[in-house]
Amino acid sequence: MMPARPKAGRQLGWSEELLRTSPLAAHYQPVMAPLSREACDALAHGAVPPELLPTPEQVAHGGALSPLMVTHGYALEPGGGLRVALRTPMPDVTPAMVDWWFGWHSSSPERYKLWHPRAHVHAEWLRQPPPGTEGRARYVGHTSIVDEYVGGELGRFAVQFMAPEALGFDAARLGEDVATAVCARAGLTHLPIDAGYLVHEVLAVPGGSEMRSYFWLGGRYAAARGGGALGALAISVARRVLRPTERDARAMLTHCAEEMAHLATFLPTLYREQGDVRVGSGQAQARP
C-alpha cells in the first residue's frame, strides 16, 4: 500500500488542556483491552483461502454465505487483492447508536481519537454535513479524511460513505432497531485512487448488537476516482502500488478488532449523554 504523509503538527492523544476542560474527557480511555481471543486465533492461523471469506455481493445478500466461511480471518487473492472479516460483540449497543457514531465522530479530531486512542490522529469532513442531521442521513454521501496508524504505518485516507443499497443491501433489512450497514469506498487522499470497500454490518441481538466488519482492498477492488486521462493514469498507478501484502491484512484485522471493541465500551453512555443535544444544536455540532 502507499499512504500519503500526514500533515505536520498532528499527533496521537489529547492535550492536557482538553483532558481538563472537555465535556467528553470521561470517554477518553487510552488504556485499551487486549485483542480478543478470536482475533488472536485468526492472526495465529494466518491467511485462509479466499473462498472462506465473503465477497461484497455475498455480504449484501446475506443468506448466500456458506457454513464453511470464517468469521475472523484474512485472505490474499491471486489478483493482488485482500479480504478481511471479523465479528465484534457490542453489549448494550444498538444499530442506531452505530449510525449516530459514524455521523458524529468526524466533526473533530478529539472525537475520532476516542475511538482508537493509540492509532487515530486526525479526522475532518471533506465538506461539513448539513446541520440538523444525524445518523445515516448525516454521513452517507459525505467523505471523512482521516490520519491514522494501521500497524506501524501512518497515512491519510479518504473514507467515502455510501448508501448500503449501492452495494446491494435491501433497505427493508436495515431498520434502525434491527440492523444497519455502514458502507464506504476507501481511498487515497494524494492520488485519485479508490483502494477498496468496507462494510460494518450491525445486527441487533439479545443484550446489544453484533458487528460484522469486512474489508476488500487492492486488486480488482481498486479503481480510479473519476474518468478521463487523469483517471486512466491513476488506475495504471493503482495496479502497481495497490498490492496489499499479508502484513497489510494482519494490520487491518488488528486495527479494526481493537477500535470496534473499544467503541463498544463507551458508545452507549456517550450516546445517552449526547441525547439532548444531538440534533439541531449548533453548540452540539461544535463540541470537541
pLDDT tens string 72-108: 999 999 988 999 999 999 999 999 999 999 999 999 9
With cell 492523544, the residue in question is 13
Q: Residue 124 and residue 174: Cα distance in Å, rounded? A: 27
Q: Are 115 and 108 in contact (CB under 8 A)?
A: no
How would residue 243 be classed by pLDDT, with cut points 50, 70 and 90? confident
Q: Residue 154 and residue 177: Cα distance in Å, rounded? A: 36
Q: Mean of the per-residue pLDDT values for the chain?
A: 87
User: Which one has a higher pLDDT value, 190 or 60?
Assistant: 60
Q: Is the predicted pLDDT of residue 281 greater than 80, yes or no? A: no
Q: How open is the CA angle 239-240-241, to the nearest 5 degrees?
A: 100
Q: Are 13 and 117 in contact (CB under 8 A)?
A: yes
pLDDT at 98: 96
- HSE toward the beta carbon, residue 110, CA cutoff 13 A: 18
How would residue 8 be classed by pLDDT, with cut points 50, 70 and 90? low
pLDDT at 180: 95
Q: Residue 119 and residue 154: Cα distance in Å, rounded? A: 9
Strands 143-150 and 153-162: antiparallel
Q: Is the predicted pLDDT of residue 238 greater than 70, yes or no? A: no
How would residue 231 be classed by pLDDT, with cut points 50, 70 and 90? low
pLDDT at 51: 94
Residue 130 makes CB contacts below 8 A (sequence gap 6+) with: 138
- Least confident window among 1-10, 130-139, 150-159, 244-253: 1-10
The arithmetic mean of pLDDT across residues 35-50, rounded, is: 97
3-class secondary structure per residue, the chain: CCCCCCCCCCCCCCCHHHHHHCCCHHHCCCCCCCCCHHHHHHHHHCCCCHHHCCCHHHHHCCCCCCCCCCCCEEEECCCCCEEEEEEEEEECCCHHHHHHHHHHHHHCHHHHHHHCCCCEEEEEECCCCCCCCCCHHHHCCCEEEEEEEECCEEEEEEEEEECHHHHCCCHHHCCCCCEEEEEEEEEECCCCEEEEEEEEEEEEECCEEEEEEEEEECHHHCEECCCHHHHHHHHHHHHHHCCCCHHHHHHHHHHHHHHHHHHHHHHHHHHHHCHHHCCCCHHHHHCC
pLDDT at 64: 56
Q: Is the predicted pLDDT of residue 233 greater than 80, yes or no? A: no
How would residue 276 be classed by pLDDT, with cut points 50, 70 and 90? low
Q: Is the predicted pLDDT of residue 285 greater than 90, yes or no? A: no
From the CB of residue 68, how many other CB atoms can be counted at a distance below 10 Å?
8
Q: Is the predicted pLDDT of residue 65 greater than 70, yes or no? A: no
